[in-house]
Copies of this chain bind each other. A is one copy, B any other.
Amino acid sequence: MEDHEGRGSSAEGLSAGRETVARRPVTLADVAREARVGESTVSRVLRSHGSFSERTRAQVEAAVARLGYVPNRIAGTLASTGSRLIGIVIPSLSNIVFPDLLRGATGALDAEGFQSVIAVTDYDEEREEALVASLLSWRPAGLIVTGLEHTPGTVRRLTASGVRVAELLDIDGPGLDIVVGYSNRSAGETSARYLVARGYRRIAYLGHDLTRDRRAGKRYAGFRAALAEAGLPLHAEERIAAPSSVEAGRNGLAALLGRAPDCDAVYFSNDDMALGGYFHCLAAGLTVPDRLALFGYNGLDVGRLMPQPLTTIRTPRVEAGATAARLLCNDAPATVVDLGFELITGATA
């Protein structure tokens, strides 16, 4: 049903609303003329850099206001050295983790007076290479990328550019410059040990496309390794050949239980998947955690608010974005920042 009048696109030329005269934009030279001072004086006043009299400042500001001058940062950047732009490359916008990262980064960035150009790879490393190349052509002060795995071409461009780089959300491996995140492998291990300690023995894994999401792959590896250490096999597993989603979690758990009905716990590749799994349990009348225990990853708000709070691992992704942004803006030395993670004991495992 759709009761909304006028669906579809209706074009109405609002020519009255738009300026047709192509005025030449106001430049710094115009301001200088108007204020009867030199261009460099205007520049100094505008950036409050160097010295000038109070009187001059007033004149310049009056002229700026009268003319409605808007500085041209393109020109400013070209003339000066650095660009006050940071490029951010993330794999997806559909998983709230990345908007969170972005939120941390943009927050810190504009506290420092920087702006961000963003690019989305869809978990495609070839695309990442193209996007990095494209971002680099804006001569950004720095680049924030996700993860430590990149094509050789990406690495070459990155190092050749001399631009500062921060790699985020993973510290399991060598980085190029600044690395900010936490150990996914260790998170996987922690999850397995927790389930084992709780007495679960027929533990299954439900995940999404691990070849594209490298960090999920590292958690999986850590999880399996810790199970093995405890002398347990992975009782069953299901991989959805798609990005993680609530839907994949719900349908995936149904499929998994179809093949291995006797699992007593499931480790999900993340909270979205786990939420879907929880919905399946509710719909199918499976008691959580007695009949089946559920364990997620990320510590999303929604997990905390389920009728039974989700047992999961909270990751400081907003902080990771903010930390990386701050380090880049201040041109900090190359470093690895391990933000750690936190096990959240809920009621589902």
> Residues of A with Cβ closer than 8 Å to B?
1-15, 17-19, 22-23, 25, 68, 70-75, 77-78, 83, 85, 93-94, 96, 98-100, 102-103, 106-107, 110, 115-120, 131, 133-139, 157, 159-162, 174-177, 182-183, 186-187, 189-190, 193, 245-247, 250, 275-276, 279, 282-283, 301-302, 304-307, 323, 333-343, 345
Chain B residues, CB < 8 A from A250? 305
Inter-chain CA distance A9–B337, complex, in Å, is 4
Chain B residues, CB < 8 A from A139? 25, 72-74
If A14-B334, A118-B118, A246-B305 are given as contacts, then 20 extra A-B residue pairs at C-beta distance below 8 Å, sorted by A number, are A1-B342, A1-B345, A4-B186, A9-B323, A9-B339, A13-B334, A14-B336, A17-B175, A17-B334, A18-B334, A68-B160, A70-B137, A72-B78, A74-B74, A74-B78, A74-B139, A94-B103, A110-B119, A116-B118, A250-B305
Inter-chain CA distance A134–B70, complex, in Å, is 9
Inter-chain CA distance A2–B345, complex, in Å, is 11
Q: Would you give the shortest CB distance from A293 to chain B, in whole angstroms? A: 17
Choice from B4, B15, B275, B282 contacting A282 with Cβ under 8 Å: B282
Inter-chain CA distance A1–B312, complex, in Å, is 11
User: When the two chains form their complex, are residues A17 and B116 in contact, meaning their CB atoms are under 8 A apart?
Assistant: no
Chain B residues, CB < 8 A from A8? 338, 340
Q: Would you give the shortest CB distance from A164 to chain B, in whole angstroms? A: 9
Jot down 11 A-B pairs with beta carbons below 8 A, ordered by A: A13-B335, A23-B162, A25-B139, A25-B162, A70-B136, A72-B137, A74-B74, A74-B77, A103-B120, A115-B134, A116-B118
Chain B residues, CB < 8 A from A183? 4
Chain B residues, CB < 8 A from A2? 340-343
Chain B residues, CB < 8 A from A193? 3
Question: Nearest chain-B residue to A339 (Cβ)?
Answer: B9
Residues A70 and B301 in contact in the complex (CB < 8 Å), given A4-B340, A13-B335, A78-B75: no
Inter-chain CA distance A133–B115, complex, in Å, is 12
Question: Nearest chain-B residue to A9 (Cβ)?
Answer: B337
Inter-chain CA distance A1–B304, complex, in Å, is 17
User: When the two chains form their complex, are residues A338 and B93 in contact, meaning their CB atoms are under 8 A apart?
Assistant: no
Question: Nearest chain-B residue to A334 (Cβ)?
Answer: B14
Residues A338 and B72 in contact in the complex (CB < 8 Å), given A99-B96, A307-B279: no
Chain B residues, CB < 8 A from A138? 73-74, 115
User: When the two chains form their complex, are residues B247 and A275 in contact, meaning their CB atoms are under 8 A apart?
Assistant: no
Choice from B119, B186, B283 contacting A115 with Cβ under 8 Å: B119
